[in-house]
Structure 1
Amino acid sequence: MDGRLDGTERKQKSVVIQEGWPGYNLELFNYPEHYHGDIENVYIPHGVIMDRIESIARDILEDLGQHTLMVLCVLKGGYKFCADLVDSIKAQSRSTNCPLTVRVEFIRLKSYLNDRSTEDLHITGPDDLSVLRGKAIVGTGKTMMSLLKHVVTFQPKTIKVAGLLVKQGPNGAAMLPDYVGFVIPNHFVVGYALDYNEYFRDLDHICVISEKGKLKYKV
């Protein structure tokens, strides 16, 4: 065994962060001064996020080939993940002889699942595929399942779900994405477009909010 993973094995893998991981010391990173005292640690640094997204983009290209790719991005928490993922897909696609055609659509849908993970739904289909708006949140998996039931009515060639974060729960997620960035304990994380009452979206890193931060920005 040379330690390398083929495409099938790779997409089944994710970075798993175990319970008890203390994160990185805040003094090692730059972050907005107005959040001093409001976050406990840097849980996933921005550079690690970007590297993982590049790997997910590579797997998507390997699996979907040269089909037209329709990307449905969940707002607001999913917009940075979506933008960076699409940019990486396009960049890697341009290095091939047959660049992939990528179209993006956005959806805003309120969820009451109190789940702070973020993900995007990817649909491949013919050029005349109708634009579909949808949302999927990894946690209990209920919202994602409801959306997928709607998506299949459009009869796309392939449906794939990519989740940057999947939270570990008592019973696990009811349905896992096809592509997973990180599996994390059930902590309240913010940053990289994930918010707490519309704050912390401007953090580049994914961080764990402190009790002081929760009280400070409580509505």
Structure 2
Amino acid sequence: MAGQGGSSAAPQRGSGRGVVISDDWPGYSLDLFTYPQHYYGDLEYVLIPHGIIVDRTECLAKDIMQDIGDNNIVVLCVLKGGYKFCADLVEHIKTLSRNSERSISMKVEFVRLKSYHHDQSTQDMQIIGGEDLSKLTGKSALIVEDIIGTGRTMKALLNNIEKYKPKMIKVASLLVKRTSQPDGYRPDYYGFEIPNLFVVGYALDYNEHFRDLNHICVINDNGKGKYKV
């Protein structure tokens, strides 16, 4: 699987549960894919094409079914970036459940976490909709997130949820970003481990733009400047 720059090795399945995309992975040329015309000139390259995202999401659904099937689960979707991944993951789990002797009963709740300003993570994290977390008391919870970097935001959310004494908490994230903290937080399930890049698409945004981009792409300086607020 060649990228835009030639013969660098394709992403590999890691020893954990995610596909590891190396720092020297050149990605795919934008010319190979369709994407909204209003983003022409705003992106460097496609890091993960939409089809590969869909396939990995189905694999994660199988892992989740294998581990926590026969449970009643409260799915806690972290908005806004997690809505697309969550919807697709839940749909895959529902399909597997219908065709399996094991089944998962799911209810979906929503919470918003705010910790980014432009492309920089901030020290402060706000939980919006946290009053609904009391519904997790005594329940099995699956938190669904779009991307985890340092893990600081997720740890803060988990600390908040644990106050309500849920029966079980599992975390699924589409992306895990490699940071300068090698011992940082790792979710129970994740699709891809990616370099420390700012990525957009598949509902991941930059100041509310790029959510309508199907592929996960790396934004360029022109895009950051155009949509800076």
Please classify the TM superposition score into its range, dividing by the shorter chain length. 0.7 to 0.9
User: Are 1:11 and 1:179, in contact at CA under 8 Å, matched by a contact in 2?
Assistant: no
Q: CA contact under 8 A between 2:44 and 2:217: conserved in structure 1?
A: yes
Match for residue 141 of structure 1?
151
| 1:139/1:173 contact within 8 Å kept | no
Rate the CA distance shift 1:11–1:17 in 2: closer, same or farther, 3 A.
closer
Moved more, 202-211 or 90-99: 90-99
Cα distance in 1, alignment partners of residues 43 and 96 from structure 2: 35
Higher strand share: 2
Pair 1:205–1:188, CA change in 2 (3 A): same
Paired-residue identity, %: 56
Evaluate the alpha carbon distance shift between residue 148 and residue 86 of structure 1 in structure 2; reply closer, same or farther with a 3 A threshold. Answer: same
The answer to whether 1:214 aligns with 2:213 is no
TM-score, reference length from structure 2: 0.80
The residue type equivalent to 2:201 in the other structure is G
Deviation, structure 1 residue 130: 7.1
Kindly report the root-mean-square deviation, in angstroms, between the aligned alpha carbons of the 2 structures: 2.7
Q: Which runs of 5+ in 2 are unaligned?
A: 1-12, 122-134
Deviations 1:109-144 (A, max 9, x none): 2114835xxxxxxxxxx9985798x88662111121
Residue of structure 2 aligned with 1:90, choices 94, 104, 118: 94
Contact 1:190–1:196 (CA<8 Å) still a contact in 2?
Answer: yes
Counterpart among 160, 181, 184 of residue 191 in structure 2: 181
Gaps of 5+ in 1: 1-8, 116-125
Q: Give yes or no for the alignment of 1:158 onto 2:183.
A: no
Q: Which one of the candidate residues 32, 39, 47 is aligned to 2:36?
A: 32
Partner of 2:66: 62
Could you tell me which of 166, 179, 185 is aligned with 1:169?
179
Greater alpha carbon shift after TM alignment, 42-51 vs 100-109: 100-109
Structure 1 residues 10 and 196, CA gap change in structure 2 (3 angstroms) = closer
Partner of 1:76: 80
Following superposition, which runs of at least 4 residues in structure 1 exceed 3 angstroms of deviation?
A: 112-115, 126-132, 134-137
Q: Which residue of 2 aligns with 1:44?
A: 48
Instruction: State the TM-score, normalizing by the size of structure 1.
Output: 0.83
Match of 2:16 in 1: 12
